[in-house]
């Protein structure tokens, strides 16, 4: 019994559907614990002020934004190589989740930036890379929506995901170059290399775990929805064809 | 391949080919810039290299959906696909035709339009060089985007949404090279990186473009 047995939509649905409510509840609990702990039960950091607490939303969502695209890349490759429809639908399902994660990362970054640096937006490398990632997500989702033939859409969006991944990595380094060239040494983002004490780090880990669980729950739920939607489409087509023959 | 290239070039310069449109659009955007930011020469000179690059990029974007759309409409795309020429070479030929009819005129027109934006004299050769190296990459990326959206109604806007994020690295390095040239700084690094991106595009994107075309032709 290998993991490829889950390429069968029936088996995928039967296995994952019961898990989704549990995952939803678990992620809700973990996130609630992590966020409440992080926002209310960590000491004030004199250096950063209390606005830094938004890091408990910002970092996990940024983490998931990148990981969602990586998951889409792997799923796209699996579709292109092994033609498993569940994989293509999983990529399609993950895209809006990843897009919203990117949006959360951008907005919480802006909310953090206003008290911290006095500006809602700064064209520093990390923020800019995330904005470009957001645009990649938009293009991917738009392409899925634009093509009527589902297999053709899966193929084209997979190729876009692949080429987009190459360009996303390229953009990350290009943006670093672009920013360094103008502002030597001015780094505005809180690097993980900075000394983040355990008392802040553990609630952060909990929040990250919560976001991972949330992503998992949402993608499994949405993939199931996509599979069922494809089934309805197939049944409709069949009814149309046999109905026409009968008439 | 030469025949295909010749055909595309001849189609482009014919009456309905839209040959001068990219150039006209380039001029239009450059003319709009001072109306947007004010006529002060110092400000215009400061933003000239970047704005010329953005305008050239947008002008290149405009003619992208013509690359495959006409062939798709009159049914010659399947014929081209079954020709002895490999699909990847077809993609390369189309990109080359797009560059010759749109990119190259933009490169030639850029210094002239730079005068309108008070582009410093020492920036001219660097702008030319950066555009000359960068526009082929723009054509290749654009051809890939066009292959993804061929056959879609209203595909133009979707094409722009897909292609513009892919254009960002080329724009970053191209505009940086032009800016450094304008300030008299050495511009070798961004130019080399730009050339690297361009060569990578030539090597890899025809395969992606051919894959996308094959999906549409199924």
How would residue B135 be classed by pLDDT, with cut points 50, 70 and 90?
very high
B63-118: pLDDT as tens digits: 888 888 888 888 888 888 888 888 898 899 899 988 988 889 999 999 999 999 99
B11-31: pLDDT as tens digits: 766 655 566 788 889 999 999
Joined together, the tokens standing for residue B81 give: 């696909």
Rounded to whole angstroms, how far apart are CA atoms A213 and A27? Answer: 5
User: ipTM of the predicted structure?
Assistant: 0.89
How would residue A162 be classed by pLDDT, with cut points 50, 70 and 90?
very high
Q: Does the beta-carbon distance from B197 to A170 stay under 8 Å?
A: yes
Strands (E), chain A: none
Chain B interface residues (partner A, CB cutoff 8 A): 144, 148-149, 152, 155, 158, 161-162, 164-166, 168-169, 172-173, 176, 190, 193, 197, 204-205, 208, 211-212, 215-216, 218
Check residue A189 and give its pLDDT.
46
For the ranges A8-22, B7-21, B190-204, the maximum mean pLDDT occurs at B190-204
- CA nearest to A90, candidates A215, A188, A195: A215
**pTM of the predicted model, to two decimals?**
0.89
Rounded to whole angstroms, how far apart are CA atoms A87 and A72? Answer: 9
Q: What is the nearest CA distance from B148 to chain A, expressed in angstroms?
A: 6
Q: Does the beta-carbon distance from B148 to A138 stay under 8 Å?
A: no
Q: Does the beta-carbon distance from A135 to B190 stay under 8 Å?
A: no
Q: Does the beta-carbon distance from A164 to B166 stay under 8 Å?
A: yes
Check residue A40 and give its pLDDT.
81
Rounded to whole angstroms, how far apart are CA atoms A191 and A30? Answer: 25
Q: What is the nearest CA distance from A142 to chain B, expressed in angstroms?
A: 7
In chain B, domain spans = 2-216
Check residue B192 and give its pLDDT.
93
Query: No. of H helices and E strands in chain A?
Result: 7, 0
């Amino acid at each position: 019994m290998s993991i490829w047995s889950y390429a069968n939509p029936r088996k995928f649905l039967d296995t994952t559907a019961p898990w989704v409510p549990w995952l939803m509840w678990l992620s809700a609990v973990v996130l609630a614990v992590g966020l409440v702990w992080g926002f209310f039960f960590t000491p004030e950091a004199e250096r950063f002020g209390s606005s830094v607490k938004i890091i408990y939303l910002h970092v996990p969502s940024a983490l998931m934004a990148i990981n969602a695209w990586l998951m889409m890349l792997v799923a796209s490759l699996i579709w292109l190589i092994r033609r498993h429809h569940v994989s293509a639908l999983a990529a399609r399902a993950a895209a809006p989740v990843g897009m919203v994660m990117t949006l959360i990362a951008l907005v919480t970054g802006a909310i953090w930036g206003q008290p911290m640096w006095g500006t809602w937006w700064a064209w520093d490398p990390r923020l800019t890379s995330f904005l470009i990632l957001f645009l990649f997500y938009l293009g991917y989702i738009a392409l899925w929506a634009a093509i009527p033939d589902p297999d053709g859409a899966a193929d084209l969006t997979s190729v876009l995901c692949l080429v987009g991944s190459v360009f996303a990595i390229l953009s990350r380094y290009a943006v670093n170059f672009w920013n360094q060239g103008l502002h030597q040494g001015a780094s505005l983002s809180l690097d993980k290399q900075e000394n983040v004490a355990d008392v802040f780090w553990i609630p952060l880990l909990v929040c990250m775990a919560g976001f991972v669980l949330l992503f998992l729950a949402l993608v499994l739920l949405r993939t199931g929805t996509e599979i069922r939607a494809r089934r309805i489409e197939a049944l409709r087509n069949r009814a149309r064809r046999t109905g026409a023959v009968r008439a | 391949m030469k025949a295909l290239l010749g055909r595309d070039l001849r189609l482009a310069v014919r009456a309905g080919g839209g040959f001068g449109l990219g150039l006209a659009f380039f001029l239009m955007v450059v003319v709009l810039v001072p109306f947007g930011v004010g006529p002060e020469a110092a400000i215009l000179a400061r933003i000239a290299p970047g704005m010329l690059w953005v305008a050239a990029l947008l002008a290149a974007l405009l003619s992208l959906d013509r690359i495959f759309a006409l062939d798709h409409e009159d049914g010659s795309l399947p014929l081209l696909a079954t020709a002895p020429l490999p699909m990847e070479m077809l993609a390369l030929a189309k990109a080359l035709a797009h560059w010759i009819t749109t990119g190259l005129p933009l490169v030639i027109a850029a210094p002239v339009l730079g005068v309108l934006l008070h582009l410093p004299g020492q920036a001219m050769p660097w702008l030319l060089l950066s555009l000359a190296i960068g526009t082929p990459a723009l054509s290749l990326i654009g051809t890939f985007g066009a292959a993804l959206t061929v056959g879609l109604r209203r595909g133009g806007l979707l094409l722009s949404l897909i292609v513009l994020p892919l254009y960002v690295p080329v724009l970053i390095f191209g505009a940086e090279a032009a800016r450094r040239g304008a300030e008299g700084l050495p511009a070798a690094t961004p130019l080399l990186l730009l050339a690297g991106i361009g060569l990578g595009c030539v090597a890899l994107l025809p395969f992606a473009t051919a894959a996308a075309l094959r999906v549409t032709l199924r």
